[in-house]
Amino acid sequence: MWSALHYSLPEIRQTVISFNVVDDRHIQLRYSVTFKSPGKAHLCQLIARDFDKNIVGEIQDNFPAGVRSKTLVTTIPTRVTAVNADISRCAVK
């Protein structure tokens, strides 16, 4: 019972909506996050990968305390052309 409740109601729920290659050095990621504890500050680590699945870009979005949910479009700078972007992790700051 505990595991069913714990994993069905996570502390942070994150969803990748879409990504868009802007140019050879940038990719945009549209995503949404919902925080169970909005009284705490949070951060999300975003990554971009190339065709061989190597991480070619990384950026961190910070959320101040008081934010319950948000949908963002973030541009990730890259070393080479990226083919996808994803959320690596979100955590309490």
Give residue limits of the domains in the chain. 2-92
The domain 2-92 having CATH identifier 2.30.29: the answer here is no
Q: What percent of the chain lies above the pLDDT cut of 90?
A: 84
- Tens digits of residue pLDDT in 31-64: 999 999 889 999 999 999 999 999 999 999 999 9
**CB of 80 within 8 A of CB of 48?**
no
Compute the average pLDDT of residues 59-84: 96
Average pLDDT, the chain: 93
| Predicted pLDDT at 89 | 95
pTM of this structure: 0.88
4-36 b/e (C-beta count within 10 Å ≥ 16 → b): eeeeeeeebeeeeeebeeeeeebbebebebbbe
E strand segments, the chain: 12-23, 26-35, 42-49, 55-63, 69-77, 84-92
